[in-house]
Amino acid sequence: MVRDSACDVVVVGLGYVGLPLCAAASQTGLAVVGLDVDPDRVRAVNAGEVVADDLSAAAMGELLGAGFEATTDHAVIESAQAVVLCVPTPLSDGGGPDLANVRAAARAIAPRLGRGQLVVLESTSYPGTTDEVLAPTLEAGSGLRAGTDFHVAYSPERIDPGNPVWGVANTPKVVGGLTAACGRAAADLYRRFVARVVATAGPREAEMAKLLENTYRHVNIALVNEMAVFCDELGVDLWAAIAAAATKPFGYQAFYPGPGVGGHCIPIDPNYLGYKVRTLGYPFRFVELAGEINQRMPGYVCQRIARLLNDAKKPVNGSRVLLLGVTYKPDVADERQSPAIELARRLDELGADLAYHDPFVAEWGWAPTARPLAREADLDRAVADADCVVLLQAHAAYDLARLAATAALVLDTRGAMDGATVERL
Ligand SMILES: NC(=O)c1ccc[n+]([C@@H]2O[C@H](COP(=O)([O-])OP(=O)(O)OC[C@H]3O[C@@H](n4cnc5c(N)ncnc54)[C@H](O)[C@@H]3O)[C@@H](O)[C@H]2O)c1
């Protein structure tokens, strides 16, 4: 018997992915409950605090005003029509995804699963996770059959934090069900709050689609990063070359060099595919090469800073180096895996007198042992005091023309600045 559902969807894991999903579903009238194992997160969410970049205080207020509530009590599963898992899948020591949170969440919800319910996994992982890990764990704990008694599907999260145009509601949603009926159930759920649902043959194709998207970015960023290194030696302005190539109306998409890749997706997710390919006995060479090139970029940026200072007859040791923008992408507060951390560690090792500014980060440290620095309170003064200013993220709040006009020396790793004292990566 299909149980009577008091709530349309329970979102498990209230982070960067789960909360925007709650908001999008709630906005179209679905009854949504949030479930998290972290009582602090649940308290903060219920208090309307801003805990994810894309949900402002007003959006949190709207979500709570619509009847949304967060809880640590797994009993809510029993009243739900659908359960969507958005729990973290960090990189494990073995290079693959650590699926402990997925397993733990599945074990906790399994005893409460009922016939006709839908369980969707949104966490990023390698192809096979939904049918090899999630479905068997749910079956073992519920005594029910996946695909027969309840529905299971995979739908990758494609959120781009800080993107003002593309959000949950207007980014096409890829959905792959364990069976055709599972796929239909998941598509029906997402169609209620996402404009376009794209069905794949099964969960593995949906899992692979997500990894293909991120691997594509990872590899193309590595391509231009490698080119940035030799273009400097060849005396070629790569930024101008990219701008010229980008005028081609077909067959080319512009990617830009930078100080390295960061965040939870690009430096991590392609490894999940590399890990799975290694089980076949051979490497995924593109991913491994891209990883190697992108990881070297903070070290290369450090060398370029040393060269700039050297040209000004200054050693790195004792020079004031001001890092601007320490998050992993512009206009978000997320510092996870930011290449700024490795760059700061290297500059610190060379004896640089480090300072930083970031409108989104009030306090910042680059190693477990390094004492966190407070953000420079007066940006103009910090720029005037610096021997070298390094633009790592071109946050919209920065007046780049003013920075270029007032700084003694600038290394611009984003190709966003011009001026006599500015050198681009
Ligand atoms: N952040 C992004 O931009 C992004 C984009 C696409 C995909 N993803 C993927 O989405 C997934 C979630 O990432 P995130 O960035 O939202 O993580 P996050 O760390 O921001 O939030 C995860 C939340 O899940 C909770 N949690 C952990 N284990 C739990 C459990 N067993 N039961 C209930 N709650 C649990 C944590 O307490 C936390 O609040 C990951 O697989 C990630 O790779 C993230």
Look-up of token digits 């701008």 = 243
Which residues does a 6 A CB cutoff place in the pocket of ligand 1? 12-18, 35-38, 41, 86-89, 101, 104-105, 122-124, 157, 159, 161, 264-265
The number of the ligand 1 atom at minimal distance from the alpha carbon of 122 is 10
Going from the C-alpha of 18 to that of each of 34, 40, 82, 144, 354, the distances in angstroms are 8, 16, 14, 26, 36
Q: 299 C-alpha to center of ligand 1: Å?
A: 30
8-state DSSP, 117: -
Residue 369 near residue 389 (C-beta atoms within 8 A): no
Express each pLDDT in 387-408 by its tens digit.
999 999 999 999 999 999 999 9
pLDDT of residue 267: 86
CATH (residue range 7-201): 3.40.50.720
Domain edges within the chain: 7-201, 218-424
Task: Name which of 267, 277, 254, 181 is nearest 218 in CA terms.
Answer: 267
pLDDT of residue 162: 81
CATH class, domain 218-424, is alpha beta
Residue 337 near residue 270 (C-beta atoms within 8 A): no
Annotated catalytic residues are 265
Given this chain, do its domains 7-201 and 218-424 carry the same CATH topology?
yes
The number of the ligand 1 atom at minimal distance from the alpha carbon of 159 is 5
The number of the ligand 1 atom at minimal distance from the alpha carbon of 124 is 41
Q: 38 C-alpha to center of ligand 1: Å?
A: 12
Residue nearest to atom 25 of ligand 1 (CA): 13
CA 1 to chain centre: 40
Residue nearest to atom 33 of ligand 1 (CA): 36
8-state DSSP, 38: -
The number of the ligand 1 atom at minimal distance from the alpha carbon of 35 is 33
| Verdict on whether the full-model pTM lies above 0.85 | yes
Number of neighbours of residue 196 by Cβ within 10 angstroms? 12
Task: Name which of 76, 78, 81 is nearest 34 in CA terms.
Answer: 76
Q: 313 C-alpha to center of ligand 1: Å?
A: 47
pLDDT of residue 369: 58
Look-up of token digits 């966190």 = 372
71: helix, coil or strand? Answer: strand
Residues of the chain with pLDDT under 50: 1-3
Residue nearest to atom 30 of ligand 1 (CA): 105
pLDDT of residue 2: 40
